[in-house]
Homo-oligomer: A and B are copies of this chain.
Amino acid sequence: MIAADEEGTVAELGEFGLIAALSQWLPRDPRALVGIGDDAAVLAAPDGRVVATTDFLLEGRHFRRDWSGAGDVGHKAAARSLADVAAMGAEPTGLLVALAAPPDLPVSWARELAAGLAAECARAGASVIGGDTARASCVLLAVTGLGDLAGRDPVRRSGAAAGDLVAVAGPLGHAAAGLALLSAGLSRLPARAGLALPPAAAGLVAAHLRPAPPYPAGPEAARFGATAMIDISDGLLADLGHVAEASGVLIDVATDRLDPGEPLIAAARAIAGARRHDSLPRTDGGVTASSGDSPRAEALRWMLTGGEDHSLVATFGPGVARPADWTVIGEVRPGRGVLVDGREWAGPAGWDHFR
C-alpha cells in the first residue's frame, strides 16, 4: 500500500498512488459491494431500478480555488449530483468522482477534497464508490450520483397539473447572496474599514461555498404524493420553467409567500453600502439587483433567480397533506410558463451555461 505524503504533489504520488490514497481517505459503505480500485464499482440497487445523474464542477466556471477551499469543492460537487437524485424522490446511495488536476496540485488539496466529498455523502446517506483521475491544466470534477427509489415511482418534472400548489424545501437565494458578498469583497476577515460583513449574513457565504440540500425532503415529498419535483440549480424561476414546460402548465409564484429573512436583507444592505463606497463594477452576472433596488427587492431577486442552493421545489395536489418542512410559494394554473404575482418576470430568470 502506498502511503500518501501530504506534503507532495499529485504528480509525485502518481495516478495509482493517488487512487490508492483516495480509497484510504474515503469511508466504505456496505452497499458498495465493490468499491474504489477495480474496473467498476458494484452498488446495491435493491429497488431493481437505479437513479443516475452526472454533473460537471469545473474550476473557473463553477468554483474558484481562491474562494473555495478543497473541502468546499468536495461538498459542492457531491451536493450538485445528490440533490438531483433526491429531486426524483430517491435516496442517494453512491457517488462516482472523476478528478482531473494539474500535476502540481498538492496532495493535501486532494485529501481535503475527499473529506468534503465524504462529509456531504454522509449528509445524504451515500458514499463515494469509485472514480477516475486525469491530468488537466485546472481542476475538473465530474460527479455521478446514484440512488434508490425504494419501491416508489420517480417524481418527474412533467407531472404538475392545474390546481396543484407549489412548495419549496430548503433556503432560496442564500447561495446567490453569498456569491454577491464574495464578489463585493465582503467575506474576508479582517473586514475592510467600515464594510464589515453583517453577522446576520455570515452564513450566506458558507451557503454559496457549501450548499446543503435538504436530501430527506425529496423522498418525503414522493411519499406524500408530490406530482412534480426539481432541484433548484439554475434559479427558482428557471427551474420552475422546466417544470411548467415539461408539464404543460402555468406556474404563478406569490412573492408575499417569500420571506427573505434578515440574512438576505442584511446582505443586500451591506452590498449596497459597498457599492456606494467603492463604485464597484458589476462582476457577478445577472443574479444581483441593479444598485438602485431596495434591499428587499434585491433579496427577492436572489430568491427568484439565484441558483445553486440545491433546495427542492415540488408540486402537490390541492387538498392533500404536505410534509411539514415544505412551504407553499405559489400555484399551478392552466397555461404555459412562469409568472411572478401574475406578471411576467422582467430580467434574466437564471443561468444558461453557453450564454
Residues of chain A having any CB pair with chain B under 8 Å: 10-11, 13-16, 18, 33-34, 37-56, 58, 61-62, 84-85, 87-88, 90, 94, 96-98, 100, 103, 129-136, 140, 142, 144-147, 149, 154, 156-158, 229-231, 242, 246, 352-355
Contact = CB atoms under 8 A, between A and B. Distances in A.
A212 to B, nearest CB: 18
25 contacts: A11-B354, A16-B352, A18-B354, A37-B246, A38-B88, A39-B84, A40-B51, A40-B90, A40-B145, A41-B51, A41-B52, A42-B50, A42-B88, A45-B45, A52-B144, A54-B144, A55-B132, A56-B132, A58-B100, A58-B136, A61-B135, A62-B134, A96-B144, A103-B354, A135-B354
Nearest to A13: B354
A84 B100 CA distance: 19
A142 B54 contact: yes
Given A144-B144, A353-B133, A354-B11, A157 B38 contact: yes
A15 B52 contact: no
Contacts of A50: 42-43, 45, 50, 146
A130 B230 contact: no
B34 A154 contact: yes
- Counting every copy of the chain, the complex holds 2
A188 B156 CA distance: 49
Contact of A48 (B48, B84, B158): B48
A354 B14 contact: yes
A26 to B, nearest CB: 15
Contacts of A129: 52
Contacts of A34: 88, 154, 156
Contact of A43 (B49, B157, B354): B49
A52 B130 contact: yes
Contacts of A44: 48-49
A206 B233 CA distance: 40
Contacts of A49: 33, 42-45
A93 to B, nearest CB: 9
Contacts of A58: 100, 134, 136, 140
